[in-house]
Chain A
Amino acid sequence: GAGVSQSPRYKVAKRGQDVALRCDPISGHVSLFWYQQALGQGPEFLTYFQNEAQLDKSGLPSDRFFAERPEGSVSTLKIQRTQQEDSAVYLCASSVGSGAPYEQYFGPGTRLTVT
């Protein structure tokens, strides 16, 4: 079946621009996660949704970062007034249930470059 998809795959933004990154989870998956992966590093947790509820946004680096999942399926990560330090790969993952036993399935990521 279809896996997690993300769009766009690549985004180049000029410093100060706003960007929106989209994640389509696996159909029926309750949980959705966003991670940020800087070059040469492992992914870092950003935020977690259970259905449409954002239960944890502790990893969002600043108030310029905003995520939503209004209907409990597709999610959008928005970054306002992008800065060079925002350049990274943004990974989305989904899982069928909530909690520890459920494996997270990752999408291909969106590579954001801020110039």
Chain B
Amino acid sequence: KQEVTQIPAALSVPEGENLVLNCSFTDSAIYNLQWFRQDPGKGLTSLLLIQSSQREQTSGRLNASLDKSSGRSTLYIAASQPGDSATYLCASRPGDYKLSFGAGTTVTVRA
């Protein structure tokens, strides 16, 4: 069974600092890896999806890298803002359809 780990579990930074969120997975035979944002009491918003053949994806201030061989992905958020405060989840897709999620990193950006 695919195990997905996210470190750290929580992170608090001052506004303007860059954020680095880590995700590791045990089975490197994945189809893709996805990063989500979850606000309290809300569903999941997809941020970035990296296919297994790709090394990284970028969207605005967000950049996600994927190293399948080492079973790692990293989400970088540049110049953090208070509005970036949320829980960030990574999910790998080891099989054809199921997503395997980590427990998330809860980010607080202090104004």
Contact = CB atoms under 8 A, between A and B. Distances in A.
Interface of A: 4, 31, 33, 35, 40-45, 48, 56, 59, 91, 93, 98-101, 103-109, 111
B89 interface: yes
B104 A100 contact: no
Nearest to B46: A103
Interface residues of B, number: 26
A100 B31 contact: yes
- Across the A-B interface, give the 5 residue pairs with the lowest CB-CB distance, nearest first: A42-B101, A100-B31, A106-B44, A108-B43, A106-B43
Interface in B59-111: 89, 91, 93, 95-104
A31 B46 contact: no
13 contacts: A33-B98, A42-B91, A42-B104, A43-B89, A48-B97, A48-B98, A56-B98, A93-B44, A100-B31, A100-B32, A100-B96, A100-B97, A108-B42
Nearest to A95: B97
Given A43-B101, A108-B42, A99 B4 contact: no
Nearest to B51: A101
Nearest to B106: A40
B43 A109 contact: yes
A111 B44 contact: no
Contacts of B34: 103
Contact of B97 (A42, A99, A107): A99
A31 B103 contact: no
A31 B97 contact: yes
B32 A42 contact: no
A100 B93 contact: yes
Given A43-B91, A111-B41, 8 more contacts: A4-B43, A33-B97, A42-B104, A43-B44, A99-B96, A100-B97, A103-B34, A106-B45
B101 A44 contact: yes
Contacts of A108: 42-43
A45 B99 contact: yes
Nearest to B30: A100
A11 B101 CA distance: 24
